[in-house]
Amino acid sequence: MTRRLKHWGWGYEDQWPGPDQLRDAAALAKARLGYGADEPEQPVPLSEVYLPEPRLHVPGALAGICHTDTYERALHTYGRSYTDIVRAFRGHFDHPPDVVARPRNEEEIAAVLSWAIDSGAAVIPFGGGTSVVGGVEARVGDEYEGVVTIDLKALDRVLGVDDESLAARIQAGATGPGLEKQLSEHRLTLRHFPQSFEFSTLGGWIATRAGGHFATLYTHIDDLVESVRALTPDGAWESRRLPGSGAGISPDRMLIGSEGTLGIITEAWVRVRPRPEHRTSTAVRFETFAAGARAVRALSQSGLYPTNCRLIDAAEARTTGAGEGESALLVLGFESASQDVERPMAAALDICSDHGGHWERRGGPGDAVGSWREAFLGAPYLRDTLIAIGVLSDTFETAITWERFESFHEAVLQRARAAVLEACGAGTVTCRFTHVYPDGPAPYYTVLAPARRGDEIEQWAMIKRAASEAVLEHGGTITHHHAVGRDHRPWYDHQRPEPFAAALRGAKAAIDPRGALNPGVLIDP
Closest alpha carbon to 145 in 84, 179, 99, 104: 99
Both 89 and 200 in one domain: the answer is no
Closest alpha carbon to 331 in 286, 271, 386: 286
Query: SS3 letters for 56-83?
Result: CCCCHHHCCCEECCHHHHHHCCCCCCHH
pLDDT digits (tens, 9 = 90+) for 108-155: 999 999 999 999 999 999 999 999 999 999 999 899 999 999 999 999
DSSP codes of every residue in 303-363: T---SEEEEE-HHHHHHHTSS-SSSEEEEEEEEESSS-SHHHHHHHHHHHHHTT-EE----
Number of domains in the chain: 3
Q: How many Cβ atoms sit within 10 Å of the Cβ of residue 520?
A: 21
**CB-count exposure of residue 485 (10 Å: 0-12, 13-18, 19+):** buried
Q: What are phi and psi of 438, to 5 degrees?
A: -60, -25
The residue out of 151, 168, 200 marking a domain boundary is 151
Strands 147-151 and 99-101: parallel
Both 236 and 213 in one domain: the answer is yes
pLDDT digit of tens for each residue in the chain (525 aa)?
Answer: 689 999 999 999 999 999 999 999 999 889 889 999 989 999 999 999 999 999 999 999 999 999 999 999 999 999 999 999 999 999 999 999 999 999 999 999 999 999 999 999 999 999 999 999 999 999 998 999 999 999 999 999 999 999 999 999 999 999 999 999 999 999 999 999 999 999 999 999 999 999 998 999 999 999 999 999 999 999 999 999 999 999 999 999 999 999 999 999 999 999 999 999 999 999 999 999 999 999 999 999 999 999 999 999 999 999 888 888 899 999 999 999 999 999 999 999 999 999 999 997 555 445 777 777 787 778 889 999 999 999 999 999 999 999 999 999 999 999 999 999 999 999 999 999 999 999 999 999 999 999 999 999 999 999 999 999 999 999 999 999 999 999 999 999 999 999 999 999 999 999 999 999 999 999 987
pLDDT at 375: 74
Q: How many Cβ atoms sit within 10 Å of the Cβ of residue 184?
A: 11
Q: Are 194 and 379 in contact (CB under 8 A)?
A: no
Does residue 5 sit within a domain? no
**Cα Rg, the chain, nearest whole Å:** 23
What is the chain's percent helix, strand, coil content, to nearest 5? Answer: 35, 20, 45
Q: Are 472 and 491 in contact (CB under 8 A)?
A: yes
Degrees to nearest 5, angle at CA 482 with 320 and 510: 170
The residue out of 253, 274, 295 marking a domain boundary is 274
Does residue 484 sit within a domain? no
The residue out of 473, 495, 513 marking a domain boundary is 473
Does residue 342 sit within a domain? yes
Spatial distance between the Cα atoms of 276 and 187, rounded to a whole number of angstroms = 10
Q: How far is CA 94 from the centre of its chain?
A: 23
Both 416 and 318 in one domain: the answer is yes
Using DSSP, state whether 495 is helix, strand or coil: helix
Does residue 509 sit within a domain? no
Both 334 and 431 in one domain: the answer is yes
Both 327 and 395 in one domain: the answer is yes
Spatial distance between the Cα atoms of 66 and 113, rounded to a whole number of angstroms = 12
269 - beta bridge partners?
A: 169, 227
Q: How many Cβ atoms sit within 10 Å of the Cβ of residue 445?
A: 22
Both 307 and 410 in one domain: the answer is yes
Task: Give whole-number Cα distances, 84 to 19, 95, 201, 257, 464, in Å.
Answer: 23, 11, 19, 21, 14
Does residue 521 sit within a domain? no
Both 242 and 343 in one domain: the answer is no
Both 447 and 359 in one domain: the answer is yes
Contacts of 309 (CB under 8 A, 6+ apart): 215, 216, 296, 299, 300, 330, 331, 332, 333, 433, 436
Query: SS3 letters for 388-413?
Result: HCCEEEEEEECCCCHHHHHHHHHHHH
pLDDT at 361: 59
- Residue type, position 122, single letter: A
Does residue 286 sit within a domain? yes
Closest alpha carbon to 228 in 148, 154, 167, 177: 167
Spatial distance between the Cα atoms of 409 and 431, rounded to a whole number of angstroms = 9
Q: Supply the CATH number for residue 458's domain.
A: 3.40.462.40
Both 260 and 312 in one domain: the answer is no
Both 285 and 252 in one domain: the answer is no
Does residue 19 sit within a domain? no
Q: Are 401 and 485 in contact (CB under 8 A)?
A: no
pLDDT at 1: 66
Strands 391-397 and 428-437: unpaired
115-126 as b/e: b if 16+ CB within 10 A: bbbebebbbbbb
State the pTM of this model. 0.96
Q: Supply the CATH number for residue 184's domain.
A: 3.30.465.10
Spatial distance between the Cα atoms of 139 and 285, rounded to a whole number of angstroms = 45
Q: How far is CA 274 from the centre of its chain?
A: 25
Both 447 and 317 in one domain: the answer is yes
Q: Are 220 and 234 in contact (CB under 8 A)?
A: no
Both 165 and 270 in one domain: the answer is yes
pLDDT at 365: 46
pLDDT at 118: 97
Q: Supply the CATH number for residue 62's domain.
A: 3.30.43.10
The range of the structural domain enclosing residue 107 comes to: 44-151
Does residue 2 sit within a domain? no
